[in-house]
Amino acid sequence: MLSKKRELMQDKIALVTGSSRGMGRDIALRLADIVSGVAVHYKSNREEAIQVIKAIKQRGKLSASFQADLTKEREASGLIKKVQEKFGKIDILVNNFGPLLVKPWERVTSKDWEYILRSNLESAFFCLKAALPGMRKRKWGRIINIGYSRAEQLVAFPTIMPYAVSKTGLLILTRTVAASVAFLGITVNMVSPGLIEGGILPSSKSVPIGRLGKFKDISEAILFLVSEKAGFITGTNLIVAGG
């Protein structure tokens, strides 16, 4: 049975980018347990997005899918506008969209570099910039950016260099925006996964807790940060990496 605090979020609308599959899908489905509606975003997997919508509606919640290439500012701002027109508002924004590129840095092309940075950093900037006016007006909002567990450590990883650069930049963006809107009742935080089951780098040998993370580990962290219990937490980077 849901707690009283979670029931208080039944009037909220959430948008999860990149939510047609994987971790984004899990985040969308778990948010659907505590809010009144979840907007599902996809870039190309329309059929998978439809399946997520069906699962959300089976929970008795509102849902709809929206296609957009978030590497383009016009489409990102258009996504926010369409969701607001459909549901009336966006209370919770989870910037989950963004691929991981594994390639030795010497072989990274300018096209690779631009795509990874636009997907993982600029897409979040575009979306939160477009969503913030509505949150400011209502004096309430929750923005969660998905990072990666080593962002704060500035560790050199030659095979994921553009990804690491983009997520480090995302942390700076998170804290900058958080400081500027905190007085309005809007929190902006980052959740940074470590090695996750089903990921490209599936090895638990370096995880102190002895296992790979699960999607639910990330989703539960997000559920906490969007709740009223976390209303005094902003600008933080919650590392979910098993130590």
| Measured CA distances, 194 to 39, 217, 219 (Å) | 26, 10, 13
Nearest-10 Cα torsion for 62, 135, 152, 107:
70
Q: At 66, which CATH number?
A: 3.40.50.720
Q: Is the separation of the CB atoms in 86 and 62 below 8 Å?
A: no
DSSP 115-158: HHHIIIIIHHHHHHHHHHHHHHHHT-EEEEEE--TTGGGT---T
Cα–Cα dist 217/44, whole Å: 26
Provide the pLDDT confidence category of residue 132 given band limits of 50, 70 and 90: very high
* Domain limits for position 74: 4-240
pLDDT of residue 158: 84
Residue pLDDT, tens place only, 56-78: 999 999 999 999 999 999 999 99
10 Å CB burial of residue 132 (0-12, 13-18, 19+) is buried
Other Cβ atoms within 10 Å of 218 Cβ, number: 25
pLDDT of residue 240: 87
Cα–Cα dist 195/148, whole Å: 9
Q: Is the separation of the CB atoms in 151 and 167 below 8 Å?
A: yes
Percent of the chain with pLDDT over 70: 93
pLDDT of residue 203: 59
pLDDT of residue 206: 73
Nearest-10 Cα torsion for 61, 234, 213, 128:
60
- Which amino acid, 40? V
Domain total for the chain?
A: 1
Active-site annotation, residues:
163
Q: For residue 156, which phi and psi values (nearest 5 degrees)?
A: -80, 120
Q: For residue 114, which phi and psi values (nearest 5 degrees)?
A: -65, -40
- What is the separation of C-alpha 45 from the centre of its chain, rounded to a whole number of angstroms? 18
Which has the higher per-residue pLDDT, 34 or 201?
Answer: 34
pLDDT of residue 8: 56
Cα–Cα dist 89/141, whole Å: 10
Tell me what the pLDDT averaged over the chain comes to: 91
pLDDT of residue 2: 44
Residue pLDDT, tens place only, 181-193: 999 999 999 999 9
Q: Is the separation of the CB atoms in 163 and 148 below 8 Å?
A: yes
Angle, vertex CA 51, rays to CA 10 and CA 69, nearest 5: 90
Q: Which residues make beta-bridge pairs with 95?
A: 145
Q: What is the largest CA-CA distance in the chain?
A: 53
DSSP 53-83: HHHHHHTT-EEEEEE--TTSHHHHHHHHHHH
